């Protein structure tokens, strides 16, 4: 899979993709993430990418020309499944959407900044708009990193234990069961006996019950 992320401040995302699971995914050629600096596509001498909003009001708006130049240059090189705009008024991100995106081949993600992007970008270039929650961040960079991380960890081979992503919260509409590691006892607080029994069928059953319990308690809406 290839993800091209267009941003006014791509450095904000560098670290997110250079460690741990996402770094390994890139090294193993399972996911290629390209951070593209919108300024490289500025069309005027001042290398301008934003301007004041027509009609007045506070805050700058990302201009259509650099974004159009950037998206068109990417599209000339390959076919894209989706051109996604990160936006607080977009479709709310959830695991189901991540699963769907993980089956795609090439994605463009556009990050807004300041007041957002010229509406004509959204009307003519964007195929999906995704929000990571009902709150407003200063730019689309962290949301783009969140979306990419959630997608990439689902790609076959990215996680060491391939079943691991399947047992995470929200797959099957259940929250994940509790997990424990060494020591077996700390401060008199013991790990549940069942996990030390070595009986894998019983452990699976216990984990499933714990998942259901936890979901009933914390997110009954998922069970409906």
3-state secondary structure the chain: CEEEEEECCCHHHHHHHCCHHHHHHHHCCCCEEEEEEHHHHCCCCCCCCEEECCCCCCCEEECHHHHHHHHHHHHHHCCCCEEEEEEEEEEECCHHHHHHHCCCCEEEEECCECCCECHHHHHHCCCEEEECCCCCCCECHHHHHHHHHHHHCCCCCCCCCCCCHHHCCCHHHCCCCCCCCCCCEECCEECCHHHHCCCHHHHHHHHHHHHHHHHHHHCHHHHC
Q: Give the whole-angstrom CA distance, residue 124 versus residue 74.
A: 15
The mark string for 27-66 relative to ligand SAH (x by CB under 6 A, - otherwise) is ----------------------------------------
Candidate residues 22, 31, 80, 112; the one interacting with ligand SAH per rule CB under 6 A:
112
Candidate residues 11, 51, 89, 91; the one interacting with ligand SAH per rule CB under 6 A:
89
Nearest distance in Å: CB 201, ligand SAH: 42
Between 121 and 159, CB nearer to ligand SAH: 121
Binding of residue 140 to ligand SAH (CB under 6 A):
yes
Please check whether residue 114 is in contact with residue 142, taking contact to mean a CB–CB distance below 8 angstroms: no
Between 136 and 201, CB nearer to ligand SAH: 136
Total residues binding ligand SAH (CB under 6 A): 18
Candidate residues 49, 63, 86, 98; the one interacting with ligand SAH per rule CB under 6 A:
86
Binding of residue 111 to ligand SAH (CB under 6 A):
yes
Nearest distance in Å: CB 9, ligand SAH: 11
Nearest distance in Å: CB 29, ligand SAH: 28
Binding of residue 75 to ligand SAH (CB under 6 A):
no
Chain positions contacting ligand SAH, by CB under 6 A? 86-89, 111-113, 115-116, 131-133, 135-137, 139-140, 143
């Amino acid at each position: 899979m290839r993800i091209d992320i267009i941003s006014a401040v791509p450095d904000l995302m560098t670290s997110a993709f250079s460690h741990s699971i996402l770094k390994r995914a890139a090294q193993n050629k399972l996911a290629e993430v390209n951070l593209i600096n919108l300024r490289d596509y500025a069309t005027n001498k001042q290398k301008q990418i934003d301007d004041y909003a027509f009609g007045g009001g506070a805050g700058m708006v990302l201009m259509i020309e650099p974004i159009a130049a950037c998206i068109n240059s990417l599209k000339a090189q390959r076919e894209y499944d989706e051109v996604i705009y990160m936006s607080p008024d977009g479709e709310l991100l959830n695991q189901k959407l991540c699963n769907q995106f993980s089956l795609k081949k090439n994605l463009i993600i556009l990050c807004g900044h300041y007041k957002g992007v010229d509406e004509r970008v959204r009307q003519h270039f964007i195929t999906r708009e995704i929000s990571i929650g009902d709150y407003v961040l200063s730019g689309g960079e962290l949301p783009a990193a969140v979306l990419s991380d959630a997608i990439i960890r689902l790609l076959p081979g990215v996680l060491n234990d391939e079943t691991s992503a399947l047992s995470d919260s929200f797959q099957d509409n259940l929250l994940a069961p509790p997990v424990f590691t060494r020591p077996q006892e700390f401060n008199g607080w013991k790990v549940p006996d069942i996990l030390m029994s070595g009986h894998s069928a019983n452990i699976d059953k216990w984990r499933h019950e714990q998942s259901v319990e936890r979901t009933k308690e914390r997110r009954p809406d998922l069970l409906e």
